[in-house]
Amino acid sequence: MRPLKIALNNFGPFETAEIDFDHFKEANLFLISGDTGAGKTTIFDAMTYALFGDKEIDRNAKEMRSEFADGHSLTEVKFWFEHNGKYYKVSRTPEQDILKKNPKDENDTTKKGSTAQFAEVDHDLQLEISALGAKLNEVNDAIIEMLHLNAKQFRQIIILPQNQFRKFLGSASDDKEDILRTLFGTEIYQSFSDRLAAQQKLQGSSIESDQVELKTIFKGIDWDDETYDNEAPVSDQFKLLQTKIEHDTKINQDVHQKLVVVERERNTSLENQRQAEQLTNKFKQLQQEKLKLTELMGQASKIKQLRKDLQRVQWLNQQVKPVDEVQRLDKEKAELEISQTKQVDENTKLTELEVQVAKQKVTIKSSEDKYQQATTQEQLITAELLPAVKQLVEYQSTKSTAAKLLDELTKSGHRKQLSLEQAQKQQEELQGKLASIPETNAARLQLSQSQEVAKEVKLVADNLEASLTHQTKLEKQQSEQTAKHDELTAQLKQSSSAFEQGKAKRQELMISLLQSELVEGEPCVVCNAIYDGNNQAHQHVDQADIRDQINAVEELEQQKNVDTKNLAVLVNQLDQTNNELKQIKTKVNSLNEQLTKSYLEFKKVWKSQYNTELPNEYDQSKITMVFDEQSQLIDTNDQQRGLISIEIKILNDQNEKILQDIAENKTQITVQENSISTSQSSIDTITQQYSKLGSVNELNSELAELQAFTTDFERQATKLQQDESDFKVRQASWKTNETTIQKQLTSYEQQRLASDIAIKAILQQGELASFEELQTEVMAISDNQLTNLMTEITEYDTKVTENQQQLVSLGDELKDVVQPDLDEIKLDVQAKDETFKQVNEQFTTLKVKLESLESLASRAQKLANQIEQAQADGKAINDLVSAVKGNNQVKLGLERFVLRNFLNEVLQFANEHYIGQLSAGRYQFKLSDESSGRSNQNGLNIDVFDGETSTFRSSSTLSGGESFIAALSIALSLAEIVQEHAGGVRIEALFIDEGFGTLDTQTLNQAMEALSSLESTGRLVGIISHVESMKREISQQILINKQGDGRSVVKYREL
């Protein structure tokens, strides 16, 4: 992955900034420099934020919103990079408050949530090829999947933090462990060791808990006092328990056999009762059928009349069609008479229309000549006269406008000439004033050099302030963790107490359940001993209560285990905080001494150059004030020269503009004179061609009258054609209708004759006097009358048939059968059912007790197995805990052993690629074999092999320049190995933030040689430094300059 470009809007000190990492083409090495606090680190924060979001940078992204950003501007970061030959762009905006569309005041804001977009783009970084994510989670997952890096690994690989890696070389194994743990993420191994120890403790507690529960179970069983001994071995107690289960099982089986016999007798009685009930029902059914037959015979006369009514309705139903035919013919006759009347009316109208058409023809003929004249005059006005009048008016207007402009241009030319003369005189006066102000470049260069020295001092002060802040944070963290420790200790005590109380409650419930089932004077169903009434249960208990309490005890045990684990983790965190606090206090003391020394040297240099005094103690605000006074003196002269130069330039621009305006003015005068001449010539031509031209209004009025006449004439002609066409169509239609009506009359008379003959024959059959009487009876038949009559007769016939069949069937079936005594049979069933319930209740009670005993036996066996397995596993866990804690032959804990292998890999890489080349083959790294005698205190010390003396010696014996080369070799190798273990991703860029200002000349030259060697690998290398010699040596530079008001800008410089 190679960074290409990053754009920042209202992010940190950058209002708008774009940093192009491909700006430099000649070499891969470039320098990043600028004022302290200008925003160099902000660039790296922005890069990390763009890729991984605001949770992965030291400062919250929404807090990075520029203080000077207005309420409408968004904070946004865009980052372009290359990966595996393809180009990508990622954009993000953090959560931020912006003004509403119509805000009431500057505080009327709305919260805009975080956004993210990720896409593949073309080679020019402009055109989007495909979208890869538009939501926060989508973008985060897509980038991590693509790069095989998380934010922590990215910052470790691409940035070498200031001073950290130089201290790494000579630090103790414990200090190296902290750094390597961060780089390689080996916390998991220490966490694993801690979890093993917690598991060891938890397992011991679990065995003890299981043993107590097992003992409680055995005590809770109602044993025979003569055979049970609660101090006997567990195996013997299990044998007694199995014997008791077998005894109770035998009793349960005997009762079950008795239950089977009683149930069989009860079922036989139930079957006898069922058969008796069936016979009784059949005797009742026979009596009901006899009664039904008597009822049906009483309806016979009614059904006979219904059959006669059915025959009459069926005959009338056959006459519906002839009656309907007569009605249809009557209707048809009425319609024909109406059609004849309409034909007479239409013939009268046709005669009137024929006369009207003849009159219209005479009128049209008399107006044809006048219409032709009006059409000719209309064309003349439209095609020639109106266009000529409009052109004449346009030319006259153009001539008048040009005359006015000519007068204005002449006056403007005189005014501009006078302004030019005044500006030239003022310019000569400013040139003389500029020559009298001296140059200030030398003074500014000297002040700039002093500022560079002051920045190195401020760097130390800033480090001291940051360390003090970190110390305060750690002290607060220590206090919070101590309070949390007390809270978790109390919580563990409470959960342990609750667990013990729960186990006691569970035992009490088990005993109460067995006691509640005993009956005074009767034998116990478990041991057969006669219960004398003593040791009565204090509370009512059932199996559900027992199960609930067992579940409750398990939950209390889980809570106690969680509290134990949380306390162990917190103790480990508190130890880490105490160690870190001790280290930061040592660092604060060292930085205090360094600041005092650097400030004294700076005061000596200042006193030799300036008359002003610096404060006795380091005070950044007062030092800044002194610098501002010197800078203000220089800036005053620069400001005066700048203002005069700007005024001279403005006057030059004004003179050039005036000269251009004068030339343009002359051109415009010539244009207007030509326009007046052309317009006058056109006016003369039109007046000669048309001697008598009226106005536009007059011509339009005449044209309107002509158009009204021609339009009316054309309308009348069109109407005449339409009326003639309508007359012919209607006349043809009248003749056709007349023929059709005559044919329909003939057909009607023939059909009516046939219908009258048919009706006469029907009247003779039905003994009816007239057609009207027939029509009345036919109309009186309802839609359902025929169906209802047939249904009622059919239902009666069906009932008679079914009744006769039932009487025959029941008579045959009950022949020679005696009706049973049902009441006597029911009494027998009731007695046997009562016996069954008593035996079943006894069986159920014994079964529940047996199941409870078997459940306790199963739980006891499970606990015994758990105890046996846990005791077997205990030795293995104890040995493993001892080994991972460092109690082994090499005295290395698990995490220290893993880190030693990682470090050895780093040193091998450094030997192959860096240290040999940079030391001219003299040095090679090797892990020290020295042991300090205590576990986890050795394993990470580094020795060097000196090729000149052929001996191994400690890296602490190296000189300043040698130690820097060694430290840089390890740092670069660490970056490569961390990168390799992050998934083999190739990062084609590296930024080194190192305090080069503290190096002497020789060591600095060695560092530059090492960096030049690194550049040859093809990786893009950015160096962050304030050192002047590096600014002279490295030709390609990115400058971050403060602008005031919290703003900074980005500039490029090439030497």
pLDDT digits 0-9 by tens, 413-426: 788 778 777 877 87
Q: What is the pLDDT of residues 796-846, one digit of tens each?
A: 888 888 888 888 888 888 888 887 888 888 888 888 888 888 888 888 888
> How many C-alpha atoms does 951 have within 13 Å on its Cβ side?
5
Instruction: Report the distance separating Cα 549 and Cα 509, nearest Å.
Output: 8
What is the pairing mode between strands 1020-1024 and 989-993?
Answer: parallel
Residue 231 gets which letter from DSSP?
T
Q: What is the pLDDT of residues 516-550, one digit of tens each?
A: 666 676 665 445 556 666 665 556 666 677 667 77
Find the distance separating the first CA and the last CA of the chain, reported in whole Å.
28
Output the pLDDT for position 932.
46
Instruction: Report the distance separating Cα 128 and Cα 899, nearest Å.
Output: 44
Share above pLDDT 90 across residues of the chain, in percent, rounded to a whole number: 6
Query: At residue 310, does pLDDT exceed 60?
Result: yes
- Indicate the pTM of the whole model: 0.39
What is the three-state SS of 262-286? HHHHHHHHHHHHHHHHHHHHHHHHH
Q: What is the pLDDT of residues 471-518, one digit of tens each?
A: 898 889 889 889 988 888 898 888 888 878 887 777 677 666 656 666
Output the pLDDT for position 73.
87
Q: Which of 116-125, 268-277, 306-315, 1035-1044 has the lowest mean pLDDT?
A: 306-315
Quick one: residue 907, left, alpha or beta (phi over 0 = left, psi -120 to 50 = alpha)? Answer: alpha
The total of other beta-carbon atoms located within 10 Å of residue 779's CB is: 10
CA-based nearest residue to 843, from 854, 833, 832, 851:
851
Adjacent-strand bridge partners of 7: 18, 78
- Residue boundaries of the structural domains of the chain: 2-148+986-1054, 320-366+697-780, 371-436+652-694, 454-607, 892-984
CA-based nearest residue to 647, from 635, 639, 636:
639
Q: Which of 679-683, 783-787, 912-916, 997-1001 has the lowest mean pLDDT?
A: 997-1001
- CATH domain 2-148+986-1054 topology: Rossmann fold (3.40.50)
Query: At residue 441, does pLDDT exceed 50?
Result: yes
Q: What is the pLDDT of residues 651-675, one digit of tens each?
A: 788 878 888 888 888 888 888 888 8
Give the mean model confidence (pLDDT) for residues 1012-1033. Answer: 77
What is the pairing mode between strands 951-954 and 942-946?
Answer: antiparallel
pLDDT, the chain, mean: 80
Output the pLDDT for position 933.
47
Q: Which of 297-306, 422-431, 940-949, 1001-1010 has the lowest mean pLDDT?
A: 1001-1010
Adjacent-strand bridge partners of 1048: 1042
Give Cα 731 distance to the centre of its chain: 82
Does residue 936 or residue 55 have the better pLDDT? 55
Q: What is the pLDDT of residues 228-266, one digit of tens each?
A: 777 788 788 788 878 888 888 888 888 899 889 888 888
Q: Which of 133-147, 443-457, 825-839, 925-939 has the lowest mean pLDDT?
A: 925-939
What is the pairing mode between strands 1036-1044 and 76-83?
Answer: unpaired
Instruction: Report the distance separating Cα 946 and Cα 931, nearest Å.
Output: 22
490 in Cβ contact with 496 (< 8 Å): no
Query: At residue 161, does pLDDT exceed 60?
Result: no
User: CB neighbours of 675 closer than 8 A, spacing ≥ 6?
Assistant: 398, 399, 402
19 in Cβ contact with 44 (< 8 Å): no
Q: What is the pLDDT of residues 210-232, one digit of tens each?
A: 777 777 887 777 776 556 777 78
Q: Identify the H or E element spanning 14.
A: strand 14-20
Q: What is the pLDDT of residues 21-60, one digit of tens each?
A: 888 766 778 888 888 888 887 888 888 899 988 776 666 6
Concatenated DSSP letters for 37-73? Answer: TSSHHHHHHHHHHHHH-GGGSSS-GGGGB-TT--TTP
- Cα–Cα separations (whole angstroms), residue 863 to 215, 245, 723, 965, 1025: 10, 18, 118, 64, 69
Most confident stretch, 3-12, 96-105, 736-745: 3-12
CA-based nearest residue to 440, from 181, 633, 643:
633
Query: At residue 689, does pLDDT exceed 50?
Result: yes
720 in Cβ contact with 364 (< 8 Å): yes
Residue 955 gets which letter from DSSP?
G
User: CB neighbours of 312 closer than 8 A, spacing ≥ 6?
Assistant: none
What is the pairing mode between strands 2-11 and 14-20?
Answer: antiparallel
Quick one: residue 34, left, alpha or beta (phi over 0 = left, psi -120 to 50 = alpha)? Answer: left
Query: At residue 451, does pLDDT exceed 80?
Result: no
Q: What is the pLDDT of residues 372-406, one digit of tens each?
A: 888 887 787 787 777 787 777 787 788 888 888 87
> How many C-alpha atoms does 66 have within 13 Å on its Cβ side?
27
Helices (H) and strands (E) in the chain, counts: 23, 17
